[in-house]
């Protein structure tokens, strides 16, 4: 075979190999995740298949939740945006069924207790394997800031889930205070059949946190990191 023909054959083989690798990594949605400092490659086409994950954007309707002191940010609106981003990211990367407790600005009950009971009912009706409630905090002292993940010792696996999600969030380059995980008595945690956590992704009462929570960059990083944490939780 002539020298030029060998070159042509070699180039053809290399091109075919690249096309095959692109098919494997993109067509089968392969991704690399890190679990306990170990790099794991996972074909996500069937990752979390059969898992029902409920994402709960807190408040809604007449219940605004907290309101930003500096820019008037309504917690209910940011909660919904974050929840929708998580749903989109989960559906893009996994085969999980994702349920939002609300997908628009509505009341889930005639009063706060009814709304909380409805959130639990949605999770029970979906036979949820995981429940994540999205919130943003506030305090009388505007200097208080940071991110907290709450769990309830009344139910199983919540603390482990909380630790995984918090660690995953802070693997991103997020300039926020880590307030840790806390055992809390929130209704949607202690009355949940599924492993459940409540995330407080900053304080609307703190200027820097309020600016961060409405930024597209932070919201995107939050969604990615929470999905990373969910994948890690089920992988263990």
Break the chain into its structural domains and give their ranges.
Answer: 1-42, 46-235
Contacts of 172 (CB under 8 A, 6+ apart): 221, 222, 224, 225
> What pLDDT does 42 receive?
52
- Mean pLDDT over 26-45 rounds to 49
**Share above pLDDT 70 across residues of the chain, in percent, rounded to a whole number:** 81
Query: Considering the entire predicted model, what is its pTM?
Result: 0.83
Q: Kindly tell me if the per-residue pLDDT of 43 is higher than 80.
A: no
- Mean pLDDT over 57-82 rounds to 97
CA–CA gap between residue 77 and residue 65 (Å, rounded): 9
Q: Kindly tell me if the per-residue pLDDT of 3 is higher than 90.
A: no
> What pLDDT does 7 receive?
54
- Mean pLDDT over 107-118 rounds to 97
CATH of span 46-235: 3.40.630.40
* Degrees to nearest 5, angle at CA 60 with 54 and 64: 135
> What pLDDT does 28 receive?
42
> What pLDDT does 46 receive?
80
DSSP string, the chain: --HHHHHHHHHHHHHHHHHHHHIIIIITTEEEEEETTEEEEEETTSTTTT-EEEEEE--BTTB---B-TTT--BHHHHHHHHHHHHHHHHHHH---EEEES-SSS--SSSSHHHHHHHHHHHHHHTT-SEEEEEEEE--SSTT---EEEEE-TTSTTHHHHHHHHHHHHTTS---S-EEEEEE---HHHHT-SS-EEEEEEEETTSHHHHHHHT-HHHHHHHHHHHHHHHHHHHH-
Q: Kindly tell me if the per-residue pLDDT of 38 is higher than 50.
A: no
């Amino acid at each position: 075979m002539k020298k030029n023909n060998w070159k042509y054959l070699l180039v053809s083989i290399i091109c075919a190999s690249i096309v095959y690798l692109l098919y494997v990594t993109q067509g089968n949605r392969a991704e690399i995740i890190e679990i306990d400092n170990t790099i794991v490659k996972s074909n996500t086409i069937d990752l979390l298949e059969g898992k029902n994950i409920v994402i709960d954007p807190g408040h809604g309707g007449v219940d605004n939740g907290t309101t930003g002191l500096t820019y008037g940010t309504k917690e209910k609106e940011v909660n919904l945006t974050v929840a929708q981003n998580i749903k989109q990211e989960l559906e893009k990367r996994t085969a999980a069924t994702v349920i939002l407790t609300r997908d628009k600005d509505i009341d889930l009950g005639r009063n706060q207790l009814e709304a909380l009971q409805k959130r639990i009912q949605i999770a029970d009706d979906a036979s949820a394997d995981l429940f994540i409630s999205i919130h943003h905090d506030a305090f009388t002292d505007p200097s208080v800031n940071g991110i907290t993940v709450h769990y309830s010792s009344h139910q199983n696996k919540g603390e482990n889930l909380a630790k995984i999600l918090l660690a995953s969030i802070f693997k991103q380059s997020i300039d926020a205070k880590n307030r840790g995980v806390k055992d809390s008595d929130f209704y949607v945690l202690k009355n949940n059949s599924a492993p459940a956590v409540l995330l407080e992704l900053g304080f609307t009462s703190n200027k820097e946190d309020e600016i961060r929570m409405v930024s597209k960059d932070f919201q995107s990083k939050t969604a990615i990191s929470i999905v990373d944490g969910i994948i890690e939780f089920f992988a263990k």
